[in-house]
Amino acid sequence: MEIDTSTMPPPGIELSYPNKSLAVGDCVIVEIVIPEKWHVNANVVSDEFLKASQIEIAAKGIVFNQPIWPTYKKKYNDALEMDIFVFDGKIQIKIPIKELEASYDSTTTNTTFHYQACSNFICLAPNQVHFSLSPSAATPIPLKKNDSSILVLLFFAFIGGFILNLMPCVLPVLSLKLFSLIKQSGKSRKRLFTLGLSMTGGILFSFWILATIIISLKSAGSLVGWGIQFQSIGFIAFMVILLSAFAMNFFGFFEIWLPGKTLTKMDGFTKKEGLAGAFFTGSLLVLLSTPCSAPFLGSAMGFAFSASAPVLFLFFTVAGLGLSLPYLIITLFPVLLSIFPKPGPWMVSLQKWMGLLLLGTVLWLLWVAKQTVGLEGFFLLIILSLMSMGFSFLTGKIAPPYKPFYREILLLLSSVLILFFTWQFAVSPTIDKALKEKKAAAFSLEKDESGFFPYSKEHLTSALEAGQPVLLDITADWCLTCKANEAAVLSQESLGYVLDKHNVVKIKADWTLQDKEISELLKSLGRSGVPVYAIYLPHNPQNPILLPEILTTNSILDVLDSNQ
């Protein structure tokens, strides 16, 4: 048989990015086509004299991870009289993005493929082929981040922070600040302005604390997202205890005070409308706003969570300013408060209604706990709430402001210790057991009552390979926006009928508890929190279509109808 000594033509090479804003964890796809009757050594070799394939890639502002190679083939080589590991035909190499700078530019991408070509009779000298991605390249141009697009995303963060004020997560807490501002409507403009600045300071302080925690977790290798504190049942229990005590304060059962002229109540110096209360209310507003991802906020924070620490801090600051905007406007233009009656006896009744709204927030947190840890854990958290109320009542009876200050200190320390040991030795073990049972049940679940399959890569891939579109719902029990969308849209029979007509597979990714696979899914979609809704189409599975956070039936149907 004649030996083929011809030189192999250079392999074809193309490069593509996801058709969306890039995030850490996204993959660059390098497609290489090996000419017919030839193969190249795989990225691992069976003998040291063979040259393994390698790939180099670089782009401005992008740090890449190690490439993910396809599975090689094992072939017997007659000339070498041994099995060798090879690639032939068309192969795809995925290269994950490890880090992104704020000013990254994907159009500057350069890649070099190092290879050694062989036929069944001869191996050629090692060679390489180079490819540069540029605006004039034939391949599609991926999205690029430059200074102008950063400004657009910062604007989205600001608008998203502002819209958070209208989300169901935040509305129950707005009463705290509204009540304070109404009481101040007759005071000086300077006083109102100072209160607005104090509340803004509380909001920004909490955003900065959250940013610091997120950066620390990222540095430790954890996958993080917007609202991650609600994935901890310990945090929910803490908020139940805290808000139960606040409600008792609003009902007038107790006051937190300091001796002498520094007498302080929970919501202020000397009076509930004070600066400390404004600062604290701002902090509380942030803690209870993060379960929601507002319109515009999702895309902005999706980029921020994948960016460097200074950029993440900048985005959190801008979102905090957006959340504070309504209160700053009211304090700058106090005439807006004239729509409310002047402060008077009616405020006492309003204060009690505010306490009821806080209890409503406690009930919501208890409901979230029930969905997560079942009835037993739910009742244990109710006991913690009642204990918090009981200690608050005792504080009002035993340590009112005119009694010795040490009584309040002793009661406070005793309450904290009793609640801590109750949590540590009675509640926490029961909850840990319930969480393990919940995770085990999730793995065995085929389909829920709404017809949604639990998320797995296998479910998603098998549906798309079968030619079926997929509606993906990334949700959490602690996300009120998610629950509102489920009730108003996703659970409607009319929508279910239309989805069945389009042969759509419904998949739900439950992010109530920390889940690495779902966190990676959020990253791949350029998002950092829930809700997230996406439609995957079989003919273009690499580019899912993201739906708005405030879902409508039409937003789903428009995508399906336009892609039939």
pLDDT 10s digits, 70-107: 888 888 877 667 788 899 999 999 898 888 887 788 88
136 and 193 co-located in one domain = no
What would the two tokens of residue 484 be? 């509102």
Q: Is residue 407 part of a domain?
A: no
Q: Is the pLDDT of residue 140 over 90?
A: no
Same-domain check for residues 128 and 153: no
Whole-angstrom Cα distance, residue 377 to residue 388? 17
Both 210 and 348 in a single domain? yes
| pTM for the full predicted model | 0.56
Q: How far is CA 369 from the centre of its chain?
A: 19
HEC sequence for 22-82: CCCCCEEEEEEECCCCCEEECCCCCCCCCCCCEEEEEEEEEEECCCECCCCEEEEECCCCE
| Cβ-contact 23, 306 below 8 angstroms | yes
| Matching residue, tokens 């639990």 | 454
Tell whether 132 and 183 lie within a shared domain. Answer: no
Whether 403 maps to a domain, the answer reads: no
Among 111, 141, 171, identify where a domain stops. Answer: 141
Quick check: bond before 326 cis, omega within 30? Answer: no
- Is residue 186 included in any domain, yes or no? yes
The per-residue pLDDT for 298 is 63
Q: Are residues 206 and 135 in the same domain?
A: no
| Domain housing 51 | 12-141
User: What span, in angstroms and rounded, lies between the C-alpha atoms of 388 and 270?
Assistant: 24
Q: What is the DSSP string of 403-469?
A: S-HHHHHHHHHHHHHHHHHHIIIIIHHHHHHHHHHHHHHHHH----TTSPEEP-HHHHHHHHHTT--
Q: Is the pLDDT of residue 466 over 70?
A: yes
Of 324, 343, 368, the one marking the end of a domain is 368
For the chain, give the mean pLDDT.
79
Indicate whether 134 and 241 sit together in one domain: no
Give the C-alpha separation, 524 to 534, whole Å: 12
H or E element that contains 496? helix 493-501
Give domain status of residue 543, yes or no.
yes
**φ, ψ for residue 511, nearest 5 deg:** -105, 20
CA distances from residue 71 to 43, 86, 300, 330, 345 in whole angstroms, order as listed:
10, 9, 36, 62, 76
In a shared domain, residues 213 and 94: no
Identify the weakest region by mean pLDDT among 108-117, 274-283, 389-398: 274-283
Report the alpha-carbon distance of residue 293 to residue 303 in Å, rounded: 14
442: in domain:
no
Residues 128 and 178 in one domain: no
For residues 100 and 240, state if they share a domain. no
- Confidence bin at 439 (pLDDT 50/70/90): low
Q: Is residue 212 part of a domain?
A: yes
Residue 412 lies in a domain: no
Total structural domains within the chain: 3
Is the domain of 346 the same as that of 472?
no
CA distance readout (Å), 19 to 28, 96, 178: 11, 15, 44
DSSP-derived pairing of the beta strands 470-475 and 505-510? parallel
Look at residue 47 and tell me whether its pLDDT is greater than 60.
Answer: yes
pLDDT at 2: 42
Shared domain for 137 and 153, answered yes or no, is: no
| AA identity, residue 67 | P
How far is C-alpha 122 from the chain's CA centre? 53
DSSP 8-state class, residue 399: S
Give the pLDDT confidence score for residue 107 in this predicted structure: 82
What mean pLDDT is predicted for residues 152-177? 72
State whether 188 and 129 are in the same domain: no
Query: Is residue 232 domain-resident?
Result: yes
- What is the predicted pLDDT for the residue at 143? 42
Tokens for 378, please give them.
């739910």
